[in-house]
Amino acid sequence: MANSYAEIQKKIAALQKEADAVLAREVAGVVERIRVAIAHYGLTPDQLFGRIATKPNKNRVAKVSVQKKQGRIAYGDGQGNTWGGWGKRPTWLREALAAGKNLEDFQVSAQATKPSTRKNMKKRRPSGVLYSDGAGHSWTGRGPQPRWLKEAIAGGKTLEEMRSQRS
């Protein structure tokens, strides 16, 4: 008597389930043996897989990040919409170009795209707290503690003892 299509499909599903279970057990055993070998020989990922990650092009990364930090605005529509010229064109610009405008119509003057300099940057307010040791060393409380301060703290002084207010 011939098997029906449905019976054969059931057998296939049962065999597939059994094959998946056997594969999972075998993979678990292989993974465990690999872990033991890695621990025993002290293998590193570079030894196992070779050098995977390559270093990014530093010049390209630095150039892009500097321009983004400077807030470069290359194109604007005069209504507050701007685009720096990097990445995908924004919707407002694509729609305007589709309506027949030219990209040059939206170009912002060279003055607006000029990178910021120290002169036109907002000045940072100095810290009001100053730590000093009386021997000419001082620290504003920003950044890592200097060596003289670490040595003074190790010698038994506290930050409060070295604290003074700026005038």
Structure tokens at 156: 């038994």
The predicted-structure confidence for 72-116, as pLDDT tens digits, reads as follows 678 888 888 888 888 888 998 899 899 998 888 888 865 544 555
- 109: exposed, middle or buried (C-beta count within 10 Å: 0-12, 13-18, 19+)? exposed
Residue 50 Cα distances to 25, 31, 57, 93, angstroms = 28, 19, 20, 45
pTM of the predicted structure, to 2 decimals = 0.29
| Lowest pLDDT segment from 49-53, 65-69, 115-119 | 65-69
Residue 1 Cα distances to 4, 9, 73, angstroms = 9, 17, 79
